[in-house]
């Protein structure tokens, strides 16, 4: 829906069709029967064709002039790359981190909260779900 703000009617229709295809894809309505693996036909206008470096071309398409914009949070808020597996996501993230200036820092987190004597009796561990707490994060400073 954010993509339609300020767009003309032809772009809105194209965005609507893409959003429908993406929703159908997520709901398993695209492709044949899915027993955990299926073939999906990607619309031709979404493909990177005839490229020797498809990952680099994808990054350049989604994040043009990243070195001039990497400190601009709105630049990243307006962009996303959808990937079929976590391995592909990791490749993209690694490539992007390599492009950015600065040294890489690793931020660790935990998937549980360790209650101690400083916490009140009303401590509710369910407020700290593992999907919020856990993970390994990398960033450039």
DSSP 96-133: HHHHSSS-EEEEE--SS----TTS-TT--GGGS-HHHH
Beta-strand relationship, 136-140 and 104-108: antiparallel
| pLDDT digits 0-9 by tens, 79-134 | 888 887 889 999 999 999 999 998 888 777 666 666 664 556 666 666 666 665 65
The parent domain of residue 58 ranges over 50-99
Helix (H, G, I), strand (E, B) or coil at 138: strand
Whether the predicted pLDDT of 136 surpasses 50: no
**8 Å CB contact between 21 and 43:** yes
Q: Are residues 25 and 36 in the same domain?
A: yes
CA distance 17 to 43: 11
Task: Specify the pLDDT at position 122.
Answer: 65
Q: Are residues 93 and 116 in the same domain?
A: no
Q: Are residues 95 and 129 in the same domain?
A: no
For 7-140, where are the E strands, in sequence order? 104-108, 136-140
Q: Are residues 133 and 106 in the same domain?
A: yes
CA distance 45 to 21: 13
Q: Are residues 86 and 122 in the same domain?
A: no
Q: Are residues 70 and 33 in the same domain?
A: no
Q: Are residues 4 and 43 in the same domain?
A: yes
Q: Are residues 42 and 54 in the same domain?
A: no
Q: Are residues 30 and 57 in the same domain?
A: no
Task: Specify the pLDDT at position 6.
Answer: 59
Q: In the chain, how many domains are there?
A: 3
CA distance 15 to 104: 36
Residue 12 — very low, low, confident or very high, per pLDDT cuts 50/70/90?
confident
| pLDDT digits 0-9 by tens, 26-72 | 888 887 777 777 788 888 877 888 889 989 999 998 999 999 999 99
């Amino acid at each position: 829906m954010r993509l339609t703000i300020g767009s003309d009617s032809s772009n809105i229709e194209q965005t609507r069709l893409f959003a429908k295809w993406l929703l159908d894809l997520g709901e398993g309505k695209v492709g044949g029967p899915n027993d955990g693996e299926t073939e999906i036909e990607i619309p031709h206008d979404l493909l990177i064709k005839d490229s020797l470096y498809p990952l680099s071309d994808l990054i350049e398409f989604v994040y043009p002039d990243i070195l001039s914009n990497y400190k601009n949070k709105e630049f990243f808020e307006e962009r996303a790359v959808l990937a079929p597996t976590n391995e592909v996501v990791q490749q993209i993230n690694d490539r992007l981190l390599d492009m950015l200036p600065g040294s890489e820092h690793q931020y660790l987190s935990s998937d549980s909260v360790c209650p101690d004597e400083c916490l009140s009796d009303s401590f509710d561990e369910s407020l700290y779900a593992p999907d919020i707490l856990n993970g390994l994060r990398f960033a450039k400073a």
